[in-house]
Amino acid sequence: MKRAASPLYVAAILALCLPAAVSAQSWSDQAVDPAADHPEVPVSYEDDGRYYSEDDSPTFNIGDDGTVDWLTFSGFRRYHSECHVCHGPDGEGSSYAPRIKNSAVNMDYYAFVDTVVNGRQNGNSVMPHFGDNKNVMCYLDDIYVYLKARGMEAVPRGRPAKKATKSDLIAETENACMG
Amino acid sequence: MKKLFALTSGIALCAGMAAANEDLSKMMEDPGQWVIQTGDYKNQRYSKLDQINKDNVGDMQVAWTFSTGVLRGHEGSPLVIGDTMYLHTPFPNIVYALDLANDGKIKWKYEPKQDPEVIPVMCCDTVNRGVAYADGKIFLHQADTTVVALNAETGAVEWSVANGDASKGETNTATVMPVKDKILVGISGGEFGVRGSLTAYNISDGSLAWRAYSMGPDSDILMDPENTMNLGKPVGENSGTNTWEGDQWMIGGGTTWGWYSYDPELNLVYYGTGNPSTWNPAQRPGDNRWSMTIMARDADTGMAKWVYQMTPHDEWDYDGVNEMILTEQTIDGQERKLLTHFDRNGLGYTLDRVTGELLVAEKFDPAVNWTTGVVMDKESPEYGRPQVVAQYSTEQNGEDVNSTGICPAALGSKDQQPAAYSPNTELFYVPTNHVCMDYEPFRVSYTAGQPYVGATLAMYPAPESHGGMGNFIAWDGKKGEIKWSIPEQFSVWSGALATAGDVVFYGTLEGYLKAVDANTGDLLYKFKTPSGIIGNVMTYTYDDQQFVGILSGVGGWAGIGLAAGLANPNDGLGAVGGYAALSDYTALGGQLTVFKLPN
């Protein structure tokens, strides 16, 4: 006679598995299915050129003609200045660092921010902390929404062909941050 | 003083310092050993061994292998000193001494303790280009810039010194070069605003002998305003500050992470300096001297004899650190001491290494388009300067403008992967990249220990060519001409080896070790090793048998940029992803493969 697993036993197994399931490795290794339900992705509202999902995390906005919002374009530029030397072109990962275009979808906004600000270490795989780097911190949302768009395959590899103009709010925020 | 000492106690000298490196020079002449990463002081990477030659190399087989236990980009090569092979790894920079008399049994292993925080400060992988040997010591230059002298017999630490500060982004990937009683040590971190320098430490105890910065006041850069020459003219006062705005030279870059060569007769050391920080040229007006410069310095004092800046005011990240290969060749009926250098900027330079006179500057990849060439007319005010094509000038196009179709890409027509030279054929064998880019500079702010880049770039195979990302070429340095060129699917990121057997060896990113005919380039042998090759081919003998060794382990800039393949945004959506992805061919590894002929 087969013994049915007790609910308590199942819960314990789940609890054991959870920490492993949220390791940096699995964020990047876990494939993204763009067709699946991703509540953090669809635009819920706009604030002068910045787009947010229903849970108030920044997200990308791609027009019908492929025009990307300014933050997604800016994120492309900043990513390929600050991040690609480890994570490879277009968030695709490399022989050195994980495929973070998947991470940007698989981890929530706050976990993403925490990793960039404080860094992360997994053996000899080390993500530096960028908390005191204006070139990253002033463009954190930009990089995040760009990678999220890449992870969802909402923008192709390479430089976005068409972009929205930079809004006054975005310009003011950038200038205030960069000083 | 030294002479007197030598006269009075010649026997005692044999155990002393000067003798130690006379030993090293003599050991370089023994083709049975591989005593320095560059093969010899001339950086020719040429071996007189001919047991393996163009007629029998096709029969070559694997003799033995060794796993390094580290899965990262493996650059450089092992050394062979007597019966011992010394093998290094990427971070954590383990050193193994392997007993060749005992099937490669591990005689000793040294593993330094380094703060992993150094890992992410190393732009483009935690590679290391190998250990050096002199005076019974093995010199390891760790990622965190610690230089360690190990007893070659036991692996015991004899001394160690910190050359830089990793918390400021100062790191190391290069080997060191022993010269007489000193070792010469460089530094990395151009993407972190590090001010580059070459430093000499005394072999006996690791004490500092001299340090020459790439930019800064005359006393820092060890240049004599009247006697240090630049294309036949004195450099003048403040040459390391007067082409910079304000104190920008303090975070000026010009790092020294390449290879060094040495001419014992002239007592001059040759090396190149890297890009000026940042990658946004608009933020650092001026020529930014002496970044991007070939330096010739006195080995004893560090004082510069001559300098030549190849790419004034860099706009593309064309570091000038690639190796300087020293040859003696006849030009116009006159035997001259030459220096040949294949720069990231795509130009192959030949100079008179005594005076620094520029003799040849020609493109070694026909795709190079950022310049129409270098002005060779000595009367011209532009003498020695590359003429920049406005369309590809990221300075002239300005901040926040995407300059497209620039060849070569930032990784250069050739990176650090060293070329070889055969005195038999008088040809240079050059591993090259065939990659172009779009480059858009923008404003960045400087924070110590943080990346200071300021440009975004997209790379893709050279358009309207064979579609591959590399070539392996034979180059005539006197004429400045390509003799033959082998197209490769990926950048060739492995150091070449030429031998008296008229064979040239190199590795590919897919993992092949290839042997080609030195005269024709015909493929004679290939073998697929476990991982992509970014190491340098070396050779040695044991028990009168010739062996060829190569490290596998994909990584470095190549492993980062090419892992997922390249896409050309200018080709339109259809072609995106259409290029080969390196990850379809190879995976991480860390292995030495040693070849020989069948018994």
CATH number of residue B556's parent domain: 2.140.10.10
B residues 80-99 lying closer than 8 A (beta carbon) to A: 91-92
Which whole number is the average pLDDT over B402-406?
A: 95
Closest CB to A126: pick one of B119, B442, B459: B119
Q: What pLDDT is attached to residue B332? A: 86
Closest CB to B561: pick one of A78, A89, A156: A89
Test A126 with B116 for CB contact under 8 angstroms.
yes
Which whole number is the average pLDDT over B417-422?
A: 98
Q: What pLDDT is attached to residue B458? A: 83
H/E element, B504: strand B503-507
Using the Cβ of B495 and the Cβ atoms of chain A, whether some distance falls under 8 Å is answered with no
Using the Cβ of B167 and the Cβ atoms of chain A, whether some distance falls under 8 Å is answered with no
Residues of chain B with C-beta less than 8 angstroms from the C-beta of A85: 123-124, 191, 451, 453, 560
Which whole number is the average pLDDT over B45-63?
A: 98
Among all residues of chain B, which has the CA nearest to that of A99?
A: B564
3-state secondary structure of B497: strand
**What's the mean pLDDT when you consider all of chain B?**
92
Residues of chain A with C-beta less than 8 angstroms from the C-beta of B445: 134-135, 178-179
Q: What pLDDT is attached to residue B575? A: 36
Q: The tokens of B366 are what?
A: 């026909």
Q: What pLDDT is attached to residue B20? A: 52
B residues 528-587 lying closer than 8 A (beta carbon) to A: 554-555, 559-561, 563-564, 566-569, 573, 576-577, 582-583
Question: With 50 as the cut, is the pLDDT of residue A34 above it?
Answer: yes
Test A92 with B568 for CB contact under 8 angstroms.
no
| Beta carbons within 8 Å of B69's beta carbon, 6+ residues apart | B89, B94, B590
| Distance, CA of B349 to CA of B337 (rounded, Å) | 14
Closest CB to A157: pick one of B450, B454, B577: B577
**Number of domains, chain B:** 1
Chain B: give the shortest CA distance to residue A34, in Å.
18
Among all residues of chain A, which has the CA nearest to that of B587?
A: A95
Query: What single-letter DSSP state applies at residue A79?
Result: I
Q: The tokens of B3 are what?
A: 């002479």
Q: The tokens of B350 are what?
A: 């030949």
Which whole number is the average pLDDT over A90-95?
A: 88
Poorest-pLDDT segment among A123-137, A140-154, A157-171: A123-137
Q: What pLDDT is attached to residue A94? A: 85
Which whole number is the average pLDDT over A101-127?
A: 90
Q: What pLDDT is attached to residue B569? A: 52
Residues of chain A with C-beta less than 8 angstroms from the C-beta of B576: 156-158
pLDDT per position as a tens digit, B262-272: 999 999 999 99
Whether residue B19 lies inside any domain: the answer is no
3-state secondary structure of B191: helix
Test B566 with A89 for CB contact under 8 angstroms.
yes
pTM of the model: 0.90
**What's the mean pLDDT when you consider all of chain A?**
85
Poorest-pLDDT segment among A80-94, B163-177, B507-521: A80-94
Whether residue B17 lies inside any domain: the answer is no
pLDDT bucket at B72, cuts 50 / 70 / 90: confident
Which whole number is the average pLDDT over B287-301?
A: 98
Among all residues of chain A, which has the CA nearest to that of B532?
A: A95
Residues of chain B with C-beta less than 8 angstroms from the C-beta of A128: 117, 120-121
Kind of pairing between the strands at B229-230 and B304-309: parallel
Structure-model confidence comparison of residues B560 and B222, the more confident one:
B222
Poorest-pLDDT segment among B232-246, B528-542, B565-579: B565-579
Task: Tell me the Cα Rg of chain B.
Answer: 22
Question: With 60 as the cut, is the pLDDT of residue B387 above it?
Answer: yes
Whether residue B10 lies inside any domain: the answer is no
Q: What pLDDT is attached to residue A3? A: 45
Q: The tokens of B385 are what?
A: 């300067």
Question: With 50 as the cut, is the pLDDT of residue A15 above it?
Answer: no
Q: What pLDDT is attached to residue B439? A: 92
pLDDT per position as a tens digit, B133-189: 999 999 999 999 999 999 999 999 999 999 999 888 899 999 999 999 999 999 999
Structure-model confidence comparison of residues B453 and B569, the more confident one:
B453
Domain ranges of chain A: 7-178
Closest CB to B588: pick one of A95, A128, A178: A95
**B365 annotated among ligand-binding-site residues:** no
- Provide the residue count of chain B: 599
**B75 annotated among ligand-binding-site residues:** yes
With 0-12 / 13-18 / 19 or more C-beta atoms within 10 angstroms meaning exposed / middle / buried, residue B544 is: exposed
**B129 annotated among ligand-binding-site residues:** yes
Closest CB to A128: pick one of B121, B559, B568: B121
Among all residues of chain A, which has the CA nearest to that of B458?
A: A158
pLDDT bucket at A128, cuts 50 / 70 / 90: confident
Question: With 90 as the cut, is the pLDDT of residue A43 above it?
Answer: yes
Which whole number is the average pLDDT over B203-225?
A: 98
Among all residues of chain B, which has the CA nearest to that of A86?
A: B124
B residues 145-164 lying closer than 8 A (beta carbon) to A: none
Whether residue B471 lies inside any domain: the answer is yes
Chain A: give the shortest CA distance to residue B184, in Å.
28
Helix residue ranges, H only, A30-157: 70-78, 84-87, 100-106, 109-118, 134-137, 140-151
The phi and psi torsions of B488 (rounded to 5 degrees) equal -125, 145
Among all residues of chain A, which has the CA nearest to that of B91?
A: A124
A131 CA to centre of own chain: 16
Query: What single-letter DSSP state applies at residue B293?
Result: E
pLDDT bucket at B26, cuts 50 / 70 / 90: very high
Query: What single-letter DSSP state applies at residue B345?
Result: T
Domain extent, residue B509, equals: 31-378+395-596
Which whole number is the average pLDDT over B14-42?
A: 82
pLDDT bucket at A10, cuts 50 / 70 / 90: very low
Closest CB to A135: pick one of B120, B444, B564: B444
Whether residue B355 lies inside any domain: the answer is yes
Residues of chain B with C-beta less than 8 angstroms from the C-beta of A125: 119
Q: What pLDDT is attached to residue B579? A: 57
Kind of pairing between the strands at B208-213 and B481-488: unpaired
Residues of chain A with C-beta less than 8 angstroms from the C-beta of B117: 126, 128
| Distance, CA of B385 to CA of B374 (rounded, Å) | 5
Structure-model confidence comparison of residues A16 and B560, the more confident one:
B560
Q: Answer for the pair B424, B515: CB distance below 8 angstroms, yes or no.
A: no
B residues 208-267 lying closer than 8 A (beta carbon) to A: none
Residues of chain B with C-beta less than 8 angstroms from the C-beta of A124: 91-92, 116, 119, 126
Test A124 with B455 for CB contact under 8 angstroms.
no
Using the Cβ of B186 and the Cβ atoms of chain A, whether some distance falls under 8 Å is answered with no
Residues of chain A with C-beta less than 8 angstroms from the C-beta of B92: 124
| Beta carbons within 8 Å of B137's beta carbon, 6+ residues apart | B149, B150, B151, B152, B158, B203
Choose from A78, A81, A124 for mutation: most chain B CBs within 10 A.
Answer: A81
Test B564 with A89 for CB contact under 8 angstroms.
yes
pLDDT bucket at A25, cuts 50 / 70 / 90: low
Among all residues of chain A, which has the CA nearest to that of B120?
A: A128
Closest residue by Cα to residue B489 from B566, B425, B416, B421 = B566
Which whole number is the average pLDDT over B42-54?
A: 98
Closest CB to A96: pick one of B125, B440, B456: B125
Residues of chain B with C-beta less than 8 angstroms from the C-beta of A97: 560
Closest CB to B569: pick one of A93, A125, A158: A158
B residues 364-383 lying closer than 8 A (beta carbon) to A: none
Q: Answer for the pair B200, B182: CB distance below 8 angstroms, yes or no.
A: yes
| Distance, CA of B353 to CA of A98 (rounded, Å) | 45
pLDDT bucket at B570, cuts 50 / 70 / 90: low
Chain B: give the shortest CA distance to residue A67, in Å.
14
Test B450 with A93 for CB contact under 8 angstroms.
no
Test B450 with A127 for CB contact under 8 angstroms.
no
Q: What pLDDT is attached to residue B567? A: 62
Structure-model confidence comparison of residues B398 and B16, the more confident one:
B398
pLDDT bucket at B401, cuts 50 / 70 / 90: very high
Q: Answer for the pair B120, A86: CB distance below 8 angstroms, yes or no.
A: yes
pLDDT per position as a tens digit, B326-367: 999 999 899 999 999 999 999 999 999 999 999 999 999 999
pLDDT per position as a tens digit, A132-141: 899 999 999 9
Could you list the beta-strand ranges (E) of B367-419.
371-374, 386-388, 403-406
Query: What single-letter DSSP state applies at residue B128?
Result: -
**What percent of chain A clears pLDDT 90, i.e. is strictly above it?**
58
Catalytic (active-site) positions of B: 317
Choose from B128, B278, B436, B456 for mutation: most chain A CBs within 10 A.
Answer: B456
B residues 266-295 lying closer than 8 A (beta carbon) to A: 279
Q: What pLDDT is attached to residue A17? A: 37
Q: What pLDDT is attached to residue B573? A: 39
pLDDT bucket at B111, cuts 50 / 70 / 90: very high
Number of A–B residue contacts, CB under 8 Å? 123
| Distance, CA of B556 to CA of B181 (rounded, Å) | 32
Please name the residue that has the structure tokens 């500050």: B241
Q: What pLDDT is attached to residue B81? A: 97
Among all residues of chain B, which has the CA nearest to that of A131?
A: B450
